[in-house]
Structure 1
């Protein structure tokens, strides 16, 4: 008889526990927003941004981390000013010709050539035309740094690929190439 009561009690508790469980709405959710997330239509407008703008603008007067301001604007007048006034901040110990050559070989040689004659692989294959030889140009450290920073004509900016220090190393190496032509 005691066994019958125990089996009945155990069966009753099992039915009670099983009846309280709902697979569609579980009792305890660790991250409820992961279980029941809000569905958004792809490419639909979001109320996360003010006045329908795509993104929030940074606060006025702020600059990106690691950004170094360049005082010359991207104009012909800025180029002429940089050519006349801008000098390298590198001292004789910082001027690493091997590092400048390595950077030149990575970023410049394909268009400007190994000697700076404007006959790189892309020019030989006629992908770009009119790349000047350094021998034919009146250039200075400042003008080379300016062109590497902003780009000129069909040459794009390399400011995202090279730090300011590396751009100065490239400018120093370009002037060495010019003196050898």
Structure 2
């Protein structure tokens, strides 16, 4: 038998074996041999399963009081003017003011804040100006939003919660980003705690203008 016929016979034998082994006898639901059973039959309990290792027989347990999820940074200040003032006195930026953090803070500010506050923090973002759009329904004006107060020292703009916008502290800016205020909504879901501090750092640069 030459090599070509030999290889052909081997292929036929393998195919025949696969077909025969996949056929059942009509009396069992067995799928045959199992490979890596533990890959789809985990040893660990699923969260919704009963678990005899705990007194309440539940796998999903309530976290201990005061514990934090992985990656979560606690901010122990409530959403009120009093807590805003307290944060302004007590909370300091934990990040080092260096070129890298400032650059990232600028990028974040331009991404999330400049549309309202303007690129220079002067309160002249694009949604505060007259805009229009043209589509299949024709040309129409878009809604204008009231301009936020300027951060810049040269503008001398007072904050609606007291003091000058150019004098807002780390804690006050961070509190406002976290909870929002007036027409500004909370940005806690868009900007991580660490990135909020980078934005705070960049806002301080805008306050110097």
Tell me which interval the TM-score lies in, with the shorter structure as reference length. Answer: 0.5 to 0.7
Question: Which position in structure 2 is the counterpart of 1:76?
Answer: 81
Alignment match of 2:207 (pick from 160, 178, 181): 178
Question: Which position in structure 2 is the counterpart of 1:88?
Answer: 93
Distance in 1 (alpha carbons) for counterparts of 2:147 and 2:197? 24
Using structure 1 for the length normalisation, give the TM-score. 0.64
What is the deviation of 1:160? Answer: 2.0
Encode CA deviations 1:137-177: one digit per residue, 9 max, x unaligned.
32112111111111112212222222222111101111111
What value does the CA root-mean-square deviation take over the aligned residues?
Answer: 2.7
What is the deviation of 1:95? Answer: 6.3
Contact 2:117 2:147 in 1 (8 A): no
Encode CA deviations 1:83-138: one digit per residue, 9 max, x unaligned.
22221112244762211110101000101101111110111144421422113132
- Unaligned stretches of 5+ in structure 2? 1-23, 33-47, 49-59, 132-142
Distance in 1 (alpha carbons) for counterparts of 2:194 and 2:29? 60
Distance in 1 (alpha carbons) for counterparts of 2:110 and 2:194? 16
What is the deviation of 1:58? Answer: 4.0
- Unaligned stretches of 5+ in structure 1? 1-19, 31-47, 49-55
Contact 2:122 2:149 in 1 (8 A): yes
Distance in 2 (alpha carbons) for counterparts of 1:110 and 1:70? 26
Question: Which position in structure 1 is the counterpart of 2:191?
Answer: 162
Distance in 1 (alpha carbons) for counterparts of 2:102 and 2:145? 27
Alignment match of 1:104 (pick from 96, 101, 109): 109
Distance in 2 (alpha carbons) for counterparts of 1:152 and 1:166? 19
Q: 1:177 to 1:101 in 2, by over 3 A?
A: same
Alignment match of 2:182 (pick from 153, 157, 160): 153
Q: May I ask how many residue pairs the two structures share in their alignment?
A: 137
Contact 1:72 1:82 in 2 (8 A): yes
Q: 1:27 to 1:132 in 2, by over 3 A?
A: same
